[in-house]
A and B are shown apart, each in its own frame.
Chain A
Amino acid sequence: MIDGPTRDDRRVSGDTRAVIETVVRIEFARVVGGLARYTGDVGVAEELAQDALVAALEQWPRTGTPPNPGAWLTTVGKRRAIDRYRRQRTLADKYGEIGRDLAEEVAASELEVDDAHRQIDDDILRLIFTACHPVLAAAARVALTLRMVGGLTTTEIARAHLVSEATIAQRIVRAKKTLAAAEVRFEVPIGDDRRVRLTSVLGVIYLIFNEGYSATAGDDWMRPELCVEAVRLGRMLVALMPEESEAHGLVALMEIQFSRVAARTGSNGEPILLLEQNRARWDRLLINRGFAALDRAVALGGQHRPYALQAEIAACHARAPRAEDTNWSRLASAYDVLAIVSPSPVVELNRAVAVSMAIGPQAGLDIVDTLLGDRTLAGYHLLPSVRGDLLGKLGRFEEAAVEFDRAATLTNNAREHELSMQRARDARALASRVNR
């Protein structure tokens, strides 16, 4: 049997740097989590994990990748922690004691490494909650989560966000300092705190998703690698917290939205609006995963919570084989509930669209017009965009064109700008045809 020789040949002799980095990236969250449990400081833990990576790069090319690389890396990290604490012992006796405890513990588990799955799960969960701590600014939460839980390097995070590596590195350093200064405990919060903190975790994951799904800057409309990262984090989270309905709701929302990625852009990278997408290009596997996650959220009693409601809205679209098959009244009622549970001008704007489809453009426009004075929407390009659309449907093309012009000036995304300009041109063409 003849096979392509190149990749096999390249890989048979020892593990390359890329292979080792891949293994470490896969194991990163559990290594940082395990080390943070021992040191009580995620910042220190992340540095120790980095040290362990360096050790792996030195040793694995000779020895091969160990059968349990996560445990190997954690053990090396623990030894480095002991070295550090011993050096600092003169500074504080407390450290010396921790160092002694660690030394005994590492010695006890030296080769038969700690592999209790529940402990690993718990460590990763604590890590997620710490990285998404409300004491941090949103951008810092995102960077820390991608770094420590996702295992991405600062270079990869910087590339995904189109900012310089130095910016991300600095953001992470500052975030670690903030956590240390606030004496944030490495734990999964309980009681009332848990609800608030979980909201932050879900918010961070959805923020990462959205930055990929509708890039707020740059030339590409989407950066799917961030969506993939967010979906993966979401799937991890529901495995760790299967009892949390909103985690399932968020996963359902992301899976269904992500199913449309291939259909959302045309051959030249231009955005295609939801109702104009070729639904054959929607990914059925992700849609079905989304439906299953939504069922779990509902079964846990979470159907009226914000992410599950948004997932239900996404599911309404996914259930319709063609745009004209959409159950708009079901969609509009989901928005009605969302507007009560989680009121915001953006939800209201989307509700206006659903109502316009369920009842008629004038009914939608009436809702939109109540939002015109809203300060939070003042710079939001979708307000004039939706208004332009509804005006166009009512035959008020000149007014529509003005709205699309406004939408074009308000977006920083090149693709979105072009789409609005095109819609303005189309509206003007219709206006002149009507006037002729």
Chain B
Amino acid sequence: MRFLGYTLGDESVPMPPPTPELMEEMGRFMEEATRAGVIVATGGIAPTSMGVKITLQDGEFTVVDGPFAEAKELIGGWALMETRDLDEAIEWTKRFLRVAGGGESRVRPVFGPE
């Protein structure tokens, strides 16, 4: 089964940049999860200030530049996981959070290929 795991956070709260140690440890963790065949795709997401919001309402498009005012946004990284079940996806996400040292992640089922 496929799951999208992503981190949520409040962009207005300034976050210190990750230390080299954290970067290294995170790199090791991502490698481990990839080698285990769990992570099939992964990426990082730029701040909403660099993003755009596009809406279609009553036939009218509105295109608004970021940042967006939502309290919590998808921030930083996401990983598409392929695991046997939700419990495995949760376990890998816990391991990610432990390396990250805290924070909030969401895990959402993605349909297909099965």
Contacts and interface: CB of A to CB of B under 8 A. Distances in A.
B112 A262 contact: yes
What is the interface of chain B mostly: helix, strand, loop, or mixed?
A: mixed
A217 interface: no
Nearest to B88: A22
Given A1-B72, A225-B84, A261 B37 contact: no
What is the interface of chain A mostly: helix, strand, loop, or mixed?
A: helix
A239 interface: yes
Contacts of A23: 91
Contacts of A26: 36, 88, 91-92
Interface in B1-57: 34-37, 40-41
A417 interface: no
A19 B87 contact: yes
A135 interface: no
Given A19-B91, A289-B40, A239 B84 contact: no
A18 B91 CA distance: 11
A228 B84 contact: yes
Interface stretch (A136-144, A230-238, A354-362): A230-238
Contact of B113 (A19, A233, A286): A286
Contact of A285 (B41, B90, B91): B41
A261 B84 CA distance: 16
Interface in A206-238: 224-225, 227-229, 231-236
Contacts of B85: 22
B60 interface: no
Contacts of A234: 37
Interface in A21-48: 21-23, 25-26
Nearest to A286: B113
A231 B36 CA distance: 11
Contacts of A18: 87
A258 interface: yes
A67 interface: yes
A236 B113 contact: no
Interface residues of A, number: 32
Contacts of B114: 224-225, 227-228, 261-262
B71 interface: yes
Contacts of B90: 11, 19, 22
A11 B90 CA distance: 11
A225 B85 CA distance: 10
A240 B113 CA distance: 26
A283 interface: yes
A133 to B, nearest CB: 23
Contact of A283 (B34, B72, B91, B112): B112
Nearest to B39: A235
A259 interface: yes
A232 B82 contact: yes
A292 B59 CA distance: 42
A407 B92 CA distance: 46
Nearest to A3: B106
A258 B113 contact: yes
A21 B112 CA distance: 25
A239 B72 contact: no
B36 A236 contact: yes
A16 B80 CA distance: 25
Q: Which 5 A-B pairs have the closest CB atoms?
A: A235-B37, A239-B35, A232-B37, A224-B114, A22-B87
29 contacts: A1-B71, A1-B72, A11-B90, A19-B87, A19-B90, A19-B91, A22-B88, A22-B90, A25-B84, A26-B36, A26-B88, A26-B91, A224-B113, A227-B114, A228-B82, A231-B37, A231-B82, A232-B36, A232-B82, A233-B37, A236-B36, A236-B37, A239-B37, A258-B113, A259-B113, A261-B113, A261-B114, A281-B112, A285-B40
Interface of A: 1, 11, 18-19, 21-23, 25-26, 67, 224-225, 227-229, 231-236, 239-240, 258-259, 261-262, 281, 283, 285-286, 289
Given A19-B91, A231-B82, A233-B37, 4 more contacts: A232-B37, A236-B37, A259-B113, A261-B113
